[in-house]
């Protein structure tokens, strides 16, 4: 089963919440017990080509497990990736922090790329660790897909009856984008969708109708979208 993901513009509330969280990050207190030396390392790269992404900010933080506004978080380490896209932090943590906090290794999202799936939401791609495992903190991989846009043009050419008509697309099996859904033919009109996808690899488009009794008729097709191409796909339904 693929995860369902929807892209949306961050609301004012989300932006304020992000600022509140950022303003409450303090430096990790000096370890005074259950101290462990750890190495946290990994790489950022382009998924479609394997090319490294240099000079990418990387943060390691403690975040409290419970939902909390204004609670203090702690900075463990921060830096940027080198010319090979790699980052490496040697630091000391108190393993007892895992009781109330999880350890986050995160990089900011970039409007030129897509991460999928994206654990950190709209602002960060993130690896989270809820238990102490020294080996799990090494060889972390942050893969980014080059972002482009696909135009899907829906043409209502039939007069059939249906309960639902939907369109989705994906460029990786990890995530689906639900692009369009209507309930019944009364809402069926010519429609143009502009959706994000990855450049330089196949994007699969899935569309279909569900009729009374649950019977469905689904179709799929695919194309390779380019960075600067028109990237148009037409569906007659």
pTM: 0.81
Record the tokens describing residue 6, joined without a space. 């929807």
**Model pLDDT for residues 173-229, shown as the tens digit of each residue:** 888 999 999 999 999 999 999 999 999 999 999 999 998 777 889 999 999 999 988
**Model pLDDT for residues 58-103, shown as the tens digit of each residue:** 999 999 988 777 788 999 999 999 999 999 999 999 999 999 999 9
Three-state secondary-structure class, residue 100: coil
The pLDDT of residue 108 is 94
Domains of the chain: 11-23+32-138 (2.60.40.10), 147-236 (2.60.40)
**Model pLDDT for residues 109-132, shown as the tens digit of each residue:** 888 999 877 777 778 899 999 999
Surface-to-core class of residue 193, CB atoms within 10 Å of its CB (0-12 exposed, 13-18 middle, 19+ buried): middle
Three-state secondary-structure class, residue 84: coil
**Model pLDDT for residues 135-168, shown as the tens digit of each residue:** 999 999 999 999 999 999 999 999 999 999 999 9
CA dihedral 63, 87, 135, 118 (to 10 degrees): 50
Rounded to an integer, what distance in angstroms lies between the CA atom of residue 139 and that of residue 136? 8
């Amino acid at each position: 089963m693929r995860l369902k993901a929807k892209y949306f513009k961050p609301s004012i509330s989300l932006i304020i919440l992000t600022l509140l969280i950022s303003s409450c990050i303090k430096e990790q207190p000096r370890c005074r017990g259950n101290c462990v030396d750890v190495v946290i390392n990994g790489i950022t790269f382009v998924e479609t080509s394997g090319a490294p992404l240099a000079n990418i900010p990387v943060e390691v933080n403690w975040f409290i497990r419970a939902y909390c506004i204004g609670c203090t978080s702690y900075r463990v380490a921060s830096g940027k990736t080198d010319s090979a896209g790699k980052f490496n932090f040697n630091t000391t943590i108190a393993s007892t922090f895992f009781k109330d906090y999880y350890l986050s290794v995160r990089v900011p999202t970039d409007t030129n790329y897509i991460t999928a799936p994206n654990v950190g939401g709209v602002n960060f791609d993130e690896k989270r660790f809820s238990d102490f495992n020294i080996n799990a903190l090494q060889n972390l991989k942050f893969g980014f897909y080059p972002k482009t846009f696909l135009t899907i043009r829906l043409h209502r050419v039939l007069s059939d009856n249906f309960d639902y008509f939907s369109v989705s697309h994906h460029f990786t099996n990890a995530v689906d984008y639900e692009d369009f859904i209507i309930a019944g033919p009364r809402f069926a009109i010519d429609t143009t969708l502009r959706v994000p996808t990855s450049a330089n690899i196949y994007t699969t488009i899935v569309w279909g109708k569900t009729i009374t009794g649950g019977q469905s008729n689904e179709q799929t097709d695919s194309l390779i979208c380019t960075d600067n191409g028109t990237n148009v796909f037409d569906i007659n339904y």
